[in-house]
Structure 1
Amino acid sequence: MSSNLADIANQSTRGSFILFLGDAISTIVLALGSILIARFLGPEGYGVYSLTLAIPAIFISLVSLGIDSAAVRFLAKFKSEHEFARSISFMKTSIVFRFIVAIAAWSICFISSNILASYLLNRPEVGFYIKLSSSLILFQALFNLLYSMSVGLDSYSTGSATKICMSLVKSSLAPLLVFIGLGVAGAVLGHILGFVVATIAGALAIYLGPYKNLKRFLRDCGEYENGFIKNLKLMISYGIPLYLSSLILLLVDQYRLILLAQSVSDFEIGNFQAAGNFATLLVVLSTPIATALFPAFSKLDPTGEEIKKTFQYAVKYTGILITPAAFFTISMSRILVEIVYGHAYSMAPIFLSLYTIVYLYSVFGSIVLDNFFSGIGETRINFKTTIVYVSSFIPLSVILTYFYSVVGLIASILVSSILKVSYGLFVAKRRLGISIDPNNSIRILIASGVAALSILPFSLNQSIPNYVSLLMGGVLYLVVYMTMLPIAKALQRTDITILRNLFQNQGVLKPVAEMLIKYESSLIERMKRQ
């Protein structure tokens, strides 16, 4: 690995770890809050709560316009090129423009809340809840932008801290307001207040930290800021393909709930959402990696050999992390649901097991591909892969949901997702000569699959207490998986060297990583001697 590639890898690893900590803590806190909300509201109330938040989520997706992605790319680019004036003007432009658009969307949602409840959700009685939740559009839109700015400015700790702040406020206030008798309205209000507090805290942190530092550098070098229109053209021209992709996918996510609202009961929707809450735990592993890879790919020559190696390493190591987590979740779905939600959510385990299959696609590049294309500037390919997904998902979901309810919807997600990944790999190979190593993918699946088989006695035996099964099964799974990695040749000597270099300057992460690396290294050496 060249020194340039090593530097980029180390920076990405550091950023991934900080973002992972923030995501992990916030997700755990949000999960605990969601569990309390789900228990206090019950399946039907939780289903209404989920449908209510679907409406502002649609509007939030509409106001993005790709500015969040542009903030990460251009703030990182300007900072690396020491163009401090452009960084400052870009920040001002993006905040002002986001505020104007979000206010407009908030007004539309507030005024049309009863119409949306009646004709979009087929539930006129939730009009008040939609009106209440409409203010979420402004604050969550600003929160998302501030988080992207912190990543682009290498202020990862600020982004993580604001996420944790949001989760703490939401997860404490929302269940409390439900508990004292406010019901669904209390849950919605607590959700909103979480973003209000976090947005204010994030704005202050960026202003007092990165922004003031940029101002100080600007005074020293005497540069001038760019105009509003010039910055706006820059961010929109880059972000529009990404915006269209993310907009379509976000709308599809809400379409899924709307489709369920038209076809299945609130009880089934509540079970599906409960299963989705567990699936977000896997996002905690994947999102920080994907976020850190975005600027990493943008620093490399798309036609060079380094980016080919980086792509393969990214797919492999992402798969090594995500695939075993997915297999474990599939195997332990019943136990996880019963521990957290009790027996009331009786359909959630099968929904969770099926839905989690989509994370197994990580070994084929599902997590890396989008950020790879965005990083090298090929945002139109992102849009085309999205079209492949949507064009297959919509007809499949209508048919399969009609016949098989929630299970049919999940099946349509799985089929459409693998078609999207296949198209992305095809384009990467044809245009850029970049591909995954299928042998690595198969080896990781084998190692994870064997580990999953080893814990079946715990997952299937209902006479063992759930907590005992989860603890003992988790330990056994980790040991078997770590042992199978070198046996299946998913990890080899070159990987050990790379991983040591990646984690040698990672602070508190280094001791844990070194312990695992030593174990893997000893197994590899023992196998070599035999």
Structure 2
Amino acid sequence: MKKAFEDVMSLFLGNIGGILLSLPIAILLARLLGPSDFGVLSLLLSLRDIFCVVTSLGLGRAALYFLARGREEKGYFSSLFFMRLLFGLIGALIFFSASTFFEEYYGIDRFALYAKIMSVDVVLSGLFSFFLYSFNGLSEFKRSAVMNVFYNFLRISSVVFVLLNMGVLGAIGGYLLSSFVTLILSTYFLSDLLVFLVDRLKVREIMNYSISAYFIDVSHTVANLVPLTILGLFGSVIVGYFSAAWKVASVISLFLGAMNAVGVQRISSKKSSKERKKVARKLTKYVVYLSSFFAFMMIPFSSQVINIVFSESFAPASLPLIFLSASFFLKSLSAGAACYLLGTGKPKPVTKSLLISALLAVLLSTVLIPSEPLLGISLVFLVVSCVYSLMLSFTVKFISYKNLLLRSLLSGIVTAVVVKLIVQILPTVPSVILGGFSGLFVFLTMLFLLNGLEEEDIELFSDLFEAVRKYFHLT
């Protein structure tokens, strides 16, 4: 169990490092570029991510699955790598060819030029994401975390290029630079697994697994990014507002991403059904508690957070921030169920839930966004997250979702009220810090009173501290 905590802590600290670097960079880019150009950049990145996922064929998840099965499975890596490279090049070519269409579709000046340059990152970013999956499959979580932090650190170059009056082109150049350098380093670290051979039998076995995983990635991407591309029809400024809210709300998914990555790997490595279910229950429990804490600390102060983090020119972003915080909280309920199904080699229920969510997201986007763009896209994410979690909860029934939800809601509401009172009584910067610590204390106390914490959970804090100490080699 302690080994699992060390793995989680590695990814957790890697994600923290990534957030601590990427969020300030996004804030600086938003301030320097303004809502309109920041919206253009966000739209380009969304299109890039869509093409990366569409051409991935689920090979990243396949790498995680096959490499997690043991060292004897490492022969699959070369076949996986060359397949991912080939499809990445195809995606980049299509993206480049479609650049003129994008400019006509959105009516944004120079968008075709931006898209042609960004097409290079379809290959670079796609391969880097594939390597991160591979590191996690090999249980090299610390290296995965370091590469994630380094990638986000190199994105500082985007800010430097923008400061040199290069505008959106400079921001794109920074993304290309960070993807290229980290890709070279990742290739070096995994070079011992790379042989210039492609095994046809392995390719067939890989495809049998990756196709189901592919629909998971595509559906997830459609549900998250297609609404944003539809929002782009109503102006890049609106996209800039929503992207700003998304950057802040993504802090809530910080621990969720780390736990999910480790959860699939740990469940895959367990031999008995009882052990797998135990991991899934624990995973859901901690992700829901942490997500609810951050959500209820974010929702009451949405307008203040946006004004402080960005500027008053981004004030409309406070509305989607509220809805996105609630959406991430609802989505956390499905964390354990999704990891359990993927870790036991049963991706079809997850695929089905995501496909329905993706179709629902597209349908709702076409209905809600045209009438009221910001409110419409916010409602889309809230409804889709709720439906997705409900579908998975009916599939994996051994997790006590109702108790987790009620405890989280009660604890979160009480915490939000207490923190709000503290900040209003003492409206200063120290009061915000005091409110944060008070909120954490109140939240944990409420969970304890509601029987949300067991003796085994109390021991968790000791294990986590030990993992942190060992991670940093503290004495």
TM superposition score category, shorter chain reference: over 0.9
Q: CA deviation at 1:12?
A: 2.6
**Residue in structure 1 matched with residue 450 of structure 2 by the alignment:** 488
Q: CA deviation at 1:164?
A: 1.3
In the alignment, does 2:296 pair up with 1:294?
Answer: no
In the alignment, does 2:312 pair up with 1:343?
Answer: yes
Distance (whole Å) between structure 2 residues aligned to residue 132 and residue 200 of structure 1: 19
Aligned residue pairs: how many? Answer: 472
**Residue in structure 2 matched with residue 403 of structure 1 by the alignment:** 371
Whether the aligned pair in 1 keeps the contact of 2:393 and 2:401 (CA below 8 Å) is no
Among candidates 160, 178, 200, match of residue 194 of structure 1: 178
Among candidates 230, 234, 255, match of residue 285 of structure 1: 255
Q: Secondary structure at the match of 1:490?
A: coil
Q: CA deviation at 1:97?
A: 1.5
Q: Could you give the per-residue CA deviations for residues 504-530 of structure 1, whole angstroms, max 9, x where no partner exists? A: 85251799xxxxxxxxxxxxxxxxxxx
In the alignment, does 2:49 pair up with 1:57?
Answer: yes
Q: Could you give the per-residue CA deviations for residues 156-181 of structure 1, whole angstroms, max 9, x where no partner exists? A: 122111111111111x2101111111
**Identity within the alignment, %:** 22
**Residue in structure 2 matched with residue 235 of structure 1 by the alignment:** 206
Q: TM-score, normalised by structure 1?
A: 0.84
Q: Which has the higher contact order (CA 8 A, sep 6+)?
A: 2
**Residue in structure 1 matched with residue 386 of structure 2 by the alignment:** 418
In the alignment, does 2:412 pair up with 1:448?
Answer: yes
Superposition map of 1:89-100 within 5 A = 89-100=75-86
Q: Could you give the per-residue CA deviations for residues 71-98 of structure 1, whole angstroms, max 9, x where no partner exists? A: 111111022xxx2xx41x2111111111
**Residue in structure 2 matched with residue 464 of structure 1 by the alignment:** 427
Whether the aligned pair in 1 keeps the contact of 2:47 and 2:229 (CA below 8 Å) is no
In the alignment, does 2:330 pair up with 1:367?
Answer: no
TM-aligned CA distance change 1:332 to 1:186, over 3 Å: same
Superposition map of 1:375-390 within 5 A = 375-390=343-358
Distance (whole Å) between structure 2 residues aligned to residue 78 and residue 474 of structure 1: 43
Q: Could you give the per-residue CA deviations for residues 400-449 of structure 1, whole angstroms, max 9, x where no partner exists? A: 222232112111221122111111111223xxxx2325223312221122
TM-aligned CA distance change 1:101 to 1:494, over 3 Å: closer
**Residue in structure 2 matched with residue 255 of structure 1 by the alignment:** 226
In the alignment, does 2:229 pair up with 1:268?
Answer: no
Q: State the AA in 2 paired with 1:111.
A: S
Q: State the AA in 2 paired with 1:508.
A: R
**Residue in structure 1 matched with residue 157 of structure 2 by the alignment:** 173
In the alignment, does 2:469 pair up with 1:508?
Answer: yes
In the alignment, does 2:12 pair up with 1:41?
Answer: no
**Residue in structure 1 matched with residue 103 of structure 2 by the alignment:** 117
Distance (whole Å) between structure 2 residues aligned to residue 397 and residue 301 of structure 1: 43
Q: CA deviation at 1:457?
A: 2.9
Q: CA deviation at 1:332?
A: 2.4
Distance (whole Å) between structure 2 residues aligned to residue 510 and residue 114 of structure 1: 49
Distance (whole Å) between structure 2 residues aligned to residue 419 and residue 40 of structure 1: 38
Q: TM-score, normalised by structure 2?
A: 0.93
Among candidates 427, 435, 454, match of residue 399 of structure 2: 435
Q: Secondary structure at the match of 1:489?
A: coil
In the alignment, does 2:141 pair up with 1:149?
Answer: no
Q: Secondary structure at the match of 1:403?
A: coil
Say what the alpha-carbon RMSD is for the aligned residues.
Answer: 2.4
**After the TM superposition, which parts of structure 1 deviate over 6 Å for at least 4 consecutive aligned residues?**
none
TM-aligned CA distance change 1:391 to 1:131, over 3 Å: closer
In the alignment, does 2:87 pair up with 1:101?
Answer: yes
TM-aligned CA distance change 1:492 to 1:58, over 3 Å: closer
**Residue in structure 2 matched with residue 322 of structure 1 by the alignment:** 291
Q: CA deviation at 1:282?
A: 1.8
Distance (whole Å) between structure 1 residues aligned to residue 96 and residue 401 of structure 2: 50
Q: Could you give the per-residue CA deviations for residues 267-320 of structure 1, whole angstroms, max 9, x where no partner exists? A: 222111001011121222110101000022223357x33333332222112222
Distance (whole Å) between structure 1 residues aligned to residue 36 and residue 390 of structure 2: 38
Whether the aligned pair in 2 keeps the contact of 1:503 and 1:510 (CA below 8 Å) is no
Distance (whole Å) between structure 1 residues aligned to residue 471 and residue 46 of structure 2: 41
Gaps of 5+ in 1: 1-8, 216-224, 512-530
Q: State the AA in 2 paired with 1:392.
A: L
Among candidates 142, 167, 173, match of residue 183 of structure 1: 167
Q: CA deviation at 1:36?
A: 1.0
Distance (whole Å) between structure 1 residues aligned to residue 366 and residue 422 of structure 2: 37
**Bigger Cα Rg:** 1
Whether the aligned pair in 1 keeps the contact of 2:226 and 2:362 (CA below 8 Å) is no
Q: CA deviation at 1:265?
A: 3.3
TM-aligned CA distance change 1:386 to 1:503, over 3 Å: same
Range with bigger deviation, 174-183 or 347-356: 347-356
Whether the aligned pair in 1 keeps the contact of 2:16 and 2:254 (CA below 8 Å) is yes
Whether the aligned pair in 2 keeps the contact of 1:332 and 1:470 (CA below 8 Å) is no
Among candidates 122, 130, 153, match of residue 137 of structure 1: 122
